[in-house]
Amino acid sequence: MGDAPPILVTPGGEEVIRKLVLRALNENQRLILRSINGRHRSLNSLLEELSRKKRKALSTLKLNARILKDLGLIDYGTKENPRPVRLTEHGRMVLSLLGVEGHE
């Protein structure tokens, strides 16, 4: 992945990629991406807030966050090395493709 050439988007191609991303990421994954805004000290605090507000199972949100991390769209620390949850460059690109201007 590191040495791959950048994706060239031809006219109309952005919409094709947007549809692909919408299909590839489920509702919970998109919710997590949209909700990362720099206000949360940890992934857990973000997911606990989303669980309360959106009435989603915390375990489901944790699984989806782990998938997003594996995809390289978000980054967060561990219990031993705490870090705030953040979007990666690729995560910001995906939000841009989805037409998300700000974060929730």
Measured between alpha carbons, how far is 86 from 37 in angstroms, rounded to an integer?
8
Backbone torsions φ then ψ of 60, nearest 5 degrees: -65, -45
- CB distance 73 to 34 below 8 Å: no
pLDDT band at 41 (very low <50, low <70, confident <90, very high): confident
Q: Return the SS3 of 21.
A: helix
In sequence order, the β-bridge partners of residue 74 are: 87
pLDDT band at 17 (very low <50, low <70, confident <90, very high): confident
Measured between alpha carbons, how far is 53 from 79 in angstroms, rounded to an integer?
24
